[in-house]
């Protein structure tokens, strides 16, 4: 069944199964994802994943897809066995790589050198959980290889093109 292993924990620490979180209006029953599989760009679109009884586009989470969830209250989702990074890890901005729709992959320094044609803005924001505010990583910080982002923080990057994928290099 769809999302059976997902646990929603709200900011008060109350844990609920996905089914109960939806039933108690803590989260929406569907998740959006971008289907980039069609070869023609005009056929690529956002679709919805949800339980099969809601008759959405998909009833399973798929490897290699990013999903957006609308929650009615703040909290965290835990997907057992899904992998990902561990809390407390950090990543250097200099190790981030980006791929465009044609498959070309560049690091942040190469993107900076593109100037006005850059795929992304090289001023990147993240949610600083220590200060509870958005902090900026500027292009100067990236160039000095001193900036890091902790795992489990939201990273916000302004894309100047469609279909840019962020890749974390281990």
Buried b / exposed e over 80-93, threshold 16 CB at 10 Å, is: eeeeeeeeeeebeb
Judge whether residue 164 has pLDDT over 50.
yes
pLDDT on residue 144 = 46
Average pLDDT over residues 158-169: 80
Q: Show Cβ contacts of residue 109 under 8 Å, excluding neighbours closer than 6 positions.
A: 94, 142, 143
pLDDT one-digit tens code per residue, 2-55:
677 788 888 788 889 888 998 999 888 878 888 778 888 888 888 877 655 555
Domain positions in the chain: 6-79, 90-168
Average pLDDT over residues 85-114: 80
pLDDT on residue 75 = 79
pLDDT on residue 147 = 66
pLDDT on residue 105 = 92
pLDDT on residue 154 = 65
* Contact by Cβ (8 Å): 118, 111: yes
**Which range, 58-62, 67-71, 147-151, has the best average confidence (pLDDT)?**
67-71
Closest CA to 119 of 134, 133, 135, 108: 108
CA-only gyration radius of the chain, Å:
18
Strand 67-71, strand 105-107: pairing: unpaired
Maximum pairwise Cα distance, the chain: 52
pLDDT one-digit tens code per residue, 133-145:
777 765 555 444 4
Strand arrangement of the beta sheet that strand 15-17 belongs to: 15-17, 6-10, 75-79
Mean pLDDT of the chain: 75
pLDDT on residue 11 = 78
* Contact by Cβ (8 Å): 126, 137: yes
Out of 14-23, 66-75, 121-130, which region has the weakest mean confidence (pLDDT)?
A: 121-130
């Amino acid at each position: 069944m769809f999302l059976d292993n997902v646990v929603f924990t709200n900011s008060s620490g109350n844990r609920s199964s996905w089914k109960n979180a939806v039933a108690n209006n803590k989260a929406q029953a569907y998740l959006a994802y971008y289907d980039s599989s069609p070869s023609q760009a005009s056929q690529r679109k956002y679709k919805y994943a949800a339980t099969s009884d809601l008759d959405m586009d998909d009833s399973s989470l798929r490897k290699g897809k990013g999903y957006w969830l609308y929650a009615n209250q703040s909290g965290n989702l835990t997907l057992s066995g899904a992998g990902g990074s561990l809390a407390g890890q950090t990543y250097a901005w200099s190790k981030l790589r980006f791929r465009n729709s044609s498959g070309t992959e560049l690091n942040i320094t190469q993107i900076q050198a593109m100037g006005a044609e850059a795929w992304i803005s090289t001023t990147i924001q993240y949610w600083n959980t220590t200060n509870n505010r958005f902090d900026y990583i500027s292009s100067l910080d990236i160039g000095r290889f001193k900036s890091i982002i902790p795992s489990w923080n939201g990273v916000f990057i302004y894309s100047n093109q469609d279909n840019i994928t962020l890749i974390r290099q281990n």
